[in-house]
Structure 1
Amino acid sequence: MTTLAPTHDPSLPPSGDDASLTEFGYRQELHRSLGRYASFAAGFSFISVLTTVFQFFAVGYSFGGPVFFWTWPAVLAGQLLVAACFAELAARYPISGAIYQWSSRLSTPSFGWFAGWIMVIGQTVVVAAAALALQMVMPPLWSGFQLLGGDPSPTSPTGAANAAVLGVLLLALTTLVNVVDNRVMSLVNRVGVTAEIVGAVLIAVLLLTHSERSPGITFHTGAAGQSGLLAALLTGSLTAAYVLIGFDSAGEMSEETHHPRRTSPRTILTALGAAGLLGGLLVLGGILAAPSLTDGRLASDGLSYVLTSSLGDGVGRVLLADVVIAVAVATLAIQTAACRMLFSMARDGVLPWSRTLAKVSPRTGMPAGPALVVGAFAAALLLLNFASPDAFLAIGTTCIVLLYLAYAMVTGPMLVRRLRGRYRGAAADGTDETGRPLFSLGRWGLPVNALALLYGLFMTVNLAWPRAAVYDPAGGHWYFRWFTVLFLAAVLATGAAYRWRRRTLALDETPQAPHPALPAPPA
C-alpha cells in the first residue's frame, strides 16, 4: 500500500475560499458550489426528522410509553453541547472528513484514523438503516408497494424482506445522484429539505390541532413502561438518539461550501436546532393525536397509523408521500457524508485502494469511487433483513453507537487539549472569510466540552447495553442481543489488522512519501 503525498500544488495560487485548503496542504478538487442554505440542508437532511421519527417512533413508544417524549429534549440538549464543540472546530478546520480530520489534529494521526474508520462504517450502516425507513411509509401510502406480499410491518418476515428490496432500489438511485454532478446533488438536497420542512411543520400543526388528550399524558409511562420510569427513559431514548445525529454533515461539506469558516459553524447549530424543534413537536403531536394509546398500534405502526387514522386517509396519504421524499433525500445526504469521509481519508493514503477512492472527476466535482463503495456495502447490509426481522433494530442501534463513539473521539482529545492549555478556541485565533472573528465558545468552552464528552460516553454505553427486550425480543438469538458490541469489536479488530498489515508491508517496500504533516491546533 503506497502512501499518497499531499495533493497541494504550489504552482496553483489560492483564491478566495480555496486558501482554506492550501494552508492544510490540499488543493481544491471538489467543486465549491454550496451556499448557506445548501450547507444547512446537508446537516438537516442527514438528521431528517420525518425519516427517522416515522421510522423509530414506534420503538421509543413501545419501551417508554408516553413519557418517552421527555427523552427528546434531554438528548437534544446533550447533542447541542456536542454541536457547539463541532462548530468551533468547523471554523478552524474547514476540511472534508470532519471527524477524521478534527480527531487527527487534536490527538494523533493513528487515533484520528480510528475515529474516521469508526465514523465511516457507522455512516454506511446509517445509509442502510435510512433506506429501510421506506417500509414505514410506502406500503401505508399504497398497498402495491408491498412487493413481496404478506404483512407490511417492518418487524414481520415479509415486511423486513420488502424493506430490503425497497432500500436497495433507493440506494441505486442515490448512488447514481452521488456520481452524476455536485450541482445535481445539491439541487435535489435543497428541494427535498424544503419539502421536508414544509411537510414536518404541516404534520406537526395538524396533529396538535387534532389532539385527543392533554400534554399531561407525557408524564405517564403507561403499559409500555412496566419496567419502571428510569428504564423506560433509558430505553425510550433510542428514538431521540437515533434521530438527532448527523449535524456534523455541514462540516463534512466544507470543501464544497462558500465561506466555510463562517457558514459551517452556524449551519451545524441551526440544522440541529431546527430538527430538534420540529422532531419534538412531531413526537408530541403523535402521542396527543393517536386514537388510542393502549390498542398496541402506536407501538407497532407508529406515526403512519396516527396520520392516516386521525387526519383521514386522503390527507394522510399526501403527507406520507412527503415523508417518502424525506427518506430519499436523507439517504442521499447520509451517503454523501460517508463518501466525503472516505475521500478525505483516501486522499491521505490511509485506506485500501486510496488512489481510486481519492479520484475526483474534474467535470462533475464528485468522487465516484466512494459513492459506489458506500452504496454496495449499504445494500449488502440490507440483506440481513432477509435473515431476521430483528436485524432492522440491530442495524439501527449499531450505527448510532458507532457515531456517538466517533463523536466522543473528537470531544475527548479536544477536552484534553483544553485542560493542558493547548487549545484556546478563542475568537482571537483568527478571522473568517469575511474578516469577522471565528466562532468561539469563549470561557464556556471548557464546561461545554466536558459535558459534551460525558454525555456522549453515557449515551454510547446506554445504547450499546445488551437489553434482551430490545435486541432479542423473540429470544434464542444471543448474537442479536450482543450485535452492537460484536459489530463494534469487529470494526476495531478489522481496522487494527489493516493498520498492522500496512505497517508490515511498508517495512519490505521501497521508501515511501511520508504521510502529510498535520497542522497543530491553535496553541
Structure 2
Amino acid sequence: MTVSEEDARLAEFGYTQKLDRSVGRLASFCIGFSVISATTAVYSSFGFGLSHAGPAFVWTFPIAAAVFFVWAVIAGDLAAKIPLAGYAYQWTSRLVGPTLGWFTGFAGLVGFISGFTGVAYIMSSYLGGLFGWELSDAGLIWVTIAIVLVCVVINAYGVRLATLLNNIGVTLELVVTLAGTLIVAAIVFFVSTHHQTVSFLFTKGDTVSEPYLFAWLTSSLGCIFGLLGVEASADVAEETKAARRTIPRTMLYALGVSSAIEFLMYIVFLLGIDDPAAVSASGAPIADIMSRQVAPWFSKAVVAVALTNILVCVLSNMLVATRLMYSISRDNMVPGARFLSHVSPGRRTPSAAVWSTGILSILILLSALVNAQAFAYIIGLSALGYFTVYVLTTGGLVLSRRRGNLPAAEPGTFDLGRMRTPVYTVGLVVFAAVLAALLLLPEFRANGRIFLYVMIGAGVWWALGLRPRLRRGDAGPAYSLRNRTDPAPDSIPSRPS
C-alpha cells in the first residue's frame, strides 16, 4: 500500500493526513520495545518482587507475559482494521460509541502520563547513584522535571528525531544491556562461588508476609508493570508506513523479544545474589549484584547505558501519550480541543499536545513538592489506566461482535478469525481479574481510590460538557467526518527525507 493510498484510507475515517508518515518497520518495533523497556522493567520491578514474595516472584512473569499476549493479538487485530492515532479512544468510539471512547481514551491518558512521569523519576534516582549526587526528595523531583522537558523538546521537534533516538536507544539496550547480563551469567555460573542454586528460585524469602498467596499475587504486579504498553505502536498508526500490515507484526515481535530478555534478566540476577539480605535492602539491587559479581566499574558502565534505555522509554511513552491527546482533541472531545489538536505545519507533529502533556506531567511532579504521598498515588495510576483501557476495549468488542459491526479483514492483514470469541472471552476475564487486583489488594487500595476519583472527574466533564456536544453532533468521530474541510490527501506535500 502506497503512502497516498494510506492517506486516502485515513480520509475515509474523516481525517486528512497531517502527521509525518515516516515510521517504518524497525522504528515501529523500537517504539513498542522501548515503551515496554525490558531494562526499565527489571531495574524498577526486581526489588519490588523480591521484597514482596521472595525469589519465587519470578514465576509470575510467564503468567504476565501470557496476559499481554492475549491483549497483543486483540490489539493487533484492531490495528489492522482501524489504524488511527489515539487507538484507545478511536477503537471504542467507532465500534460502540464516543461515550465509551471518551472514558477509554481518558483512562489511556492517565496510564501514559503517569507512566512516563514515573519512569522519568526512576531515571533521576539512577542518575543520582551513577554520579554520586546526594539528592533530596525535592532534588529528585527537579531532576525528573528536567528529564521530562528534554523529552518534550525532542518530541516537539518531530517524530523523525524521536524515532531516530529511540532506535539508537533500543540498539544499545539489545547489545550492551543484554551483553552485560550474559557476562554476569557467565561469571555466576562458571567463575564465582558466591551465587544461588536453581532451588533458590522457588523460595519465598525470610521477610515475606502471610498469607503467601496474597504476597505472591502482589509481586506479580511488578512483572505486569514491566510489560505495559505493548500496544504503543498502534498509537502512531497515522505515522507508520503500511500501518495495517506493519503494526500487528511489530507489536508481537516487541512483546516476544522483551519478554525473553526480561525473563532472562530476572533469572540471571536472582541467581547472582550472593547476600540475599543485603540485596533485599538495597535501593538499586541490580547495580549492587553487578558490583558484587563483576566490579563496581562494570556496574557503573552498564547502568550508564541503561539510563539511555530508560530515557527512550520516557521519550516513547510521551510520544504515544501525545498522539492519544491529539486524537481525542481533533474530535472536539476535550476543553480547548482546537488548541490541543494543532499540528505544526513545518514539523508535522502535534506540538500543542506535546507541550500540554509535558505540562501535565510537570504539574504532577510539582504536587510532590507539596505532598510526597500524592506523587506516589499518581504514579500508581499507570497500571490502573492501562488495564481499564484493556477491559473497556475488550468489553466493547464483545458488544460490537454481538451487533455484527466489526470491520472486515483486508487480505494480507492480521485477523483473529474464528479465534475471536474465545480470545475476547479469555481477555475480558484476565484483564478484569488484574484490574480487580489493582483495586482491591491491600497494597494498592489507596491508588485505586485515587484512580476512581480521577475517573469520576472524567464523568463530570462528560455529563456537563461533553454530553451536550455529543447530542448536538459537535464531538466524536462523526463530527470530524462531517466537518473535514482540509485539502484532499493528494494535495498535501510530502516532507523531504
Pick aligned residue for 2:435 from 450, 460, 465: 460
Q: Which moved more, 1:47-56 or 1:87-96?
A: 47-56
- 1:82 aligns to 2:71 (yes or no): yes
Q: Which residue of 2 aligns with 1:57?
A: 46
TM-score (norm 2): 0.90
Q: Which residue of 1 aligns with 2:34?
A: 45
Q: Indicate the SS of the match to 1:60.
A: helix
Corresponding letter in the other structure for 2:156: V
Note the C-alpha offset of 1:297: 3.8
Q: Which residue of 2 aligns with 1:71?
A: 60
Contact 1:62 1:300 in 2 (8 A): no
RMSD value over aligned CA atoms? Answer: 2.4
Q: Which moved more, 1:274-283 or 1:160-169?
A: 160-169
Q: Indicate the SS of the match to 1:209.
A: helix
Corresponding letter in the other structure for 2:11: T
Q: Which residue of 2 aligns with 1:490?
A: 453
Note the C-alpha offset of 1:300: 3.7
- 1:106 aligns to 2:95 (yes or no): yes
Q: Which residue of 2 aligns with 1:243?
A: 226
- 1:359 aligns to 2:342 (yes or no): yes
Q: What is the CA–CA distance in structure 1 between the aligned matches of 2:466 and 2:111, rounded to whole Å?
A: 25
Q: Which residue of 2 aligns with 1:499?
A: 462
Contact 1:221 1:232 in 2 (8 A): no
Q: Which moved more, 1:497-506 or 1:185-194?
A: 497-506
Q: Which residue of 2 aligns with 1:182?
A: 159
1:100-143 residue CA offsets vs partner (Å, 9 max, x unmatched)? 11111222110111100111122111121010111442223220
Corresponding letter in the other structure for 1:444: M
1:363-412 residue CA offsets vs partner (Å, 9 max, x unmatched)? 10111111111111112212344456655653433211111111111111
Contact 2:438 2:448 in 1 (8 A): no
Identity of aligned residues (%): 27
Contact 1:140 1:304 in 2 (8 A): no
Structure 1 residues 518, 439: CA separation in 2 closer, same or farther (over 3 Å shift)?
A: farther
Structure 1 residues 195, 408: CA separation in 2 closer, same or farther (over 3 Å shift)?
A: same
Structure 1 residues 298, 53: CA separation in 2 closer, same or farther (over 3 Å shift)?
A: farther
Note the C-alpha offset of 1:505: 6.6
Pick aligned residue for 1:120 from 109, 125, 135: 109
Q: What is the CA–CA distance in structure 2 between the aligned matches of 1:390 and 1:461, rounded to whole Å?
A: 22
Contact 1:54 1:136 in 2 (8 A): no
1:156-182 residue CA offsets vs partner (Å, 9 max, x unmatched)? xx3x43331221110010000111122
Note the C-alpha offset of 1:489: 1.9
Q: What is the CA–CA distance in structure 1 between the aligned matches of 2:31 and 2:348, rounded to whole Å?
A: 17
- 1:20 aligns to 2:9 (yes or no): yes
Q: Which residue of 1 aligns with 2:118?
A: 129
Q: Indicate the SS of the match to 1:383.
A: helix
Structure 1 residues 270, 391: CA separation in 2 closer, same or farther (over 3 Å shift)?
A: farther
Structure 1 residues 437, 131: CA separation in 2 closer, same or farther (over 3 Å shift)?
A: same
Taking the TM superposition and a 5 Å limit, the aligned residue runs for 1:47-446 are: 47-144=36-133, 146=134, 148=135, 158=136, 160-211=137-188, 212-295=195-278, 297=280, 300-387=283-370, 393-418=376-401, 420=402, 422=404, 429-431=408-410, 436-446=411-421
Corresponding letter in the other structure for 2:55: P
Contact 2:230 2:254 in 1 (8 A): yes
Runs of 4+ in 1 over 6 A off after TM superposition: none
- 1:451 aligns to 2:426 (yes or no): yes
Q: Indicate the SS of the match to 1:94.
A: coil
Structure 1 residues 423, 64: CA separation in 2 closer, same or farther (over 3 Å shift)?
A: farther
Structure 1 residues 60, 423: CA separation in 2 closer, same or farther (over 3 Å shift)?
A: farther
Q: What is the CA–CA distance in structure 1 between the aligned matches of 2:390 and 2:328, rounded to whole Å?
A: 17
Q: Which residue of 1 aligns with 2:478?
A: 517
Q: What is the CA–CA distance in structure 1 between the aligned matches of 2:110 and 2:13, rounded to whole Å?
A: 25
Structure 1 residues 33, 118: CA separation in 2 closer, same or farther (over 3 Å shift)?
A: same
Runs of 5+ unmatched residues, structure 2: 189-194, 481-497
Note the C-alpha offset of 1:56: 2.2
Note the C-alpha offset of 1:252: 0.3
Q: Indicate the SS of the match to 1:26.
A: coil
Note the C-alpha offset of 1:228: 3.6
Corresponding letter in the other structure for 1:359: H
Note the C-alpha offset of 1:19: 2.4
Contact 2:409 2:415 in 1 (8 A): no
Structure 1 residues 409, 296: CA separation in 2 closer, same or farther (over 3 Å shift)?
A: same
Structure 1 residues 515, 328: CA separation in 2 closer, same or farther (over 3 Å shift)?
A: closer
Q: What is the CA–CA distance in structure 2 between the aligned matches of 1:384 and 1:317, rounded to whole Å?
A: 32
Q: What is the CA–CA distance in structure 1 between the aligned matches of 2:346 and 2:161, rounded to whole Å?
A: 13
Note the C-alpha offset of 1:196: 1.6
Note the C-alpha offset of 1:225: 2.7
Note the C-alpha offset of 1:299: 5.7
Q: Which residue of 2 aligns with 1:152?
A: none
Q: What is the CA–CA distance in structure 1 between the aligned matches of 2:68 and 2:479, rounded to whole Å?
A: 28
TM-score (norm 1): 0.85
Contact 1:90 1:251 in 2 (8 A): yes
Contact 2:325 2:340 in 1 (8 A): yes
Contact 2:34 2:313 in 1 (8 A): yes
Q: What is the CA–CA distance in structure 2 between the aligned matches of 1:109 and 1:281, rounded to whole Å?
A: 42
Q: What is the CA–CA distance in structure 2 between the aligned matches of 1:505 and 1:422, rounded to whole Å?
A: 28
Q: Indicate the SS of the match to 1:318.
A: helix
Note the C-alpha offset of 1:294: 2.4
